[in-house]
Structure 1
Amino acid sequence: MDKVDVRFPQQPKPAANLPKNAQERAVALIELMGRLTALLEREAAAVRARRPAKELAQIVKDKQPMTLVYEEISRMLRVDRDGLIALPQELKTSLKDATGKLYAATADNAEALRIGGEAQKVMVDTVVTVITRQQKAPTTAYAAHMGGGRGYSAPPSGPRTSAALNTRL
């Protein structure tokens, strides 16, 4: 059981301002799907244009609450079978069109994100390969530490990438 501080009256939480009937839900859902479609298209374009991560993060931040509201209103409309059946035909058509556009934008967005992820993976793999190759490259140093004799050997300590040729004779 949650503890409640009875010394200070609690303000009631405001009720969510969700549509009350099927017609209001359908109108709200059509408008929301239009905004969500535009946001998904903007995100796909930003990914393809390789926009900064900060810009993409803001789009994701904007998309998340819209998606949650879309899911809730959509669920409320689906469970109200009688209200859904009673909707005017032009509203049903608008709902169907908006749904088709949203699904197309979602598929395009998913493809852009997949390709962007693959491009990012290729870039990371290339950097890792170059660094690995550099670390495996044979490095030598003048062997002054080996009794003053001439010749080359690996440096006595430190990473292999710090080896340098001693040119002082």
Structure 2
Amino acid sequence: MDKVDVRFPQPARPAPASVPKTAQERACALIDLMGRMTALLRRETEAVRNRRPTAELAQYAREKQPMSLVYEEVSRLLRVDREGLANLPAEIKGALKDASTTLRAATEENAEALRVGGEAQKLVVDTVVGAINRARQIPKTAYGPAGAAGRAYAPPTHGPQTSATLNTRL
């Protein structure tokens, strides 16, 4: 028996999420979830293409994570119940197939937008870093006739050449 400390009342635990019991309930829940995931992926794709702020993109990522976990679990439960899956009405099977096809297309479009956005951001960062590095490289020039005594001018260790910063809020 678990010991309970009555001096410090424990907060009530939330009820566990109810998982659909039958194959038909699972299929309907999965169709609804795939529709919501498709809409979320399309919003995120548009946000990436429109170069929306990072905070907005991070919010989409936070919303996707729990939806993906629920999707994996419900689809696994549906796949395991082969008999229930086989006995689904034709209209539910068709809706499930359509929702799956639409989600797949939205996922591919989202992945491509994220890949292109990431490459564009990397290109901008590389360009800025290259410009800063070129600005820091001041050619050493010899002074005096033919580099008298091998002495060369060196850039100062402080000042404008060493104070460049990189804006990381791209």
Same fold (TM over 0.5): yes
- The one-letter amino acid paired with 1:6 is V
Tell me the residue number matched to 1:7: 5
Residues 41, 106 of structure 2: 8 Å contact kept: yes
Measure the CA separation in 2 of the matches of 1:80 and 1:94. 18
Q: Which runs of 4+ in 1 moved over 6 A?
A: none
Q: Does 1:93 align with 2:94?
A: yes
Matching of residues 21-60 of structure 1 within 5 Å: 21-60=22-61
Measure the CA separation in 2 of the matches of 1:119 and 1:12. 46
Bigger relative CO (Cα 8 Å, ≥ 6 apart)? 2
Measure the CA separation in 2 of the matches of 1:66 and 1:99. 15
How many residue pairs are counted as aligned between the two chains? Answer: 148
TM-score scaled to structure 1, two decimals?
A: 0.79
TM superposition shift of 1:31: 0.4
TM superposition shift of 1:78: 0.4
Q: 1:6–1:122: structure 2 CA closer, same or farther, 3 Å change rule?
A: same
TM superposition shift of 1:158: 3.1
- Residues 57-83 of structure 1 deviation map (CA, whole Å, 9 limit, x = unaligned): 111111111111111100110000010
TM superposition shift of 1:157: 4.7
Measure the CA separation in 1 of the matches of 2:5 and 2:56. 45
Measure the CA separation in 2 of the matches of 1:156 and 1:121. 31
Q: 1:70–1:155: structure 2 CA closer, same or farther, 3 Å change rule?
A: closer
- 5+ long unaligned stretches in structure 2: 142-151, 163-170
Tell me the residue number matched to 1:143: none
Tell me the residue number matched to 1:165: none
TM-score scaled to structure 2, two decimals?
A: 0.79
Measure the CA separation in 1 of the matches of 2:113 and 2:156. 50
Measure the CA separation in 1 of the matches of 2:117 and 2:33. 26
TM superposition shift of 1:153: 3.6
Residues 139, 161 of structure 1: 8 Å contact kept: no
- The one-letter amino acid paired with 2:88 is L
TM superposition shift of 1:18: 1.3
Tell me the residue number matched to 2:72: 71
Residues 26, 95 of structure 1: 8 Å contact kept: yes
- 5+ long unaligned stretches in structure 1: 141-151, 163-169
Question: 1:50 aligns to what SS in structure 2?
Answer: coil
Give the greater-gyration-radius structure (CA). 1
Residues 138, 155 of structure 2: 8 Å contact kept: no
- Aligned residues: percent identity? 59
Residues 36, 102 of structure 1: 8 Å contact kept: yes
- The one-letter amino acid paired with 1:40 is L
TM superposition shift of 1:55: 0.5
Question: 1:78 aligns to what SS in structure 2?
Answer: helix
Report the aligned-residue RMSD: 2.2
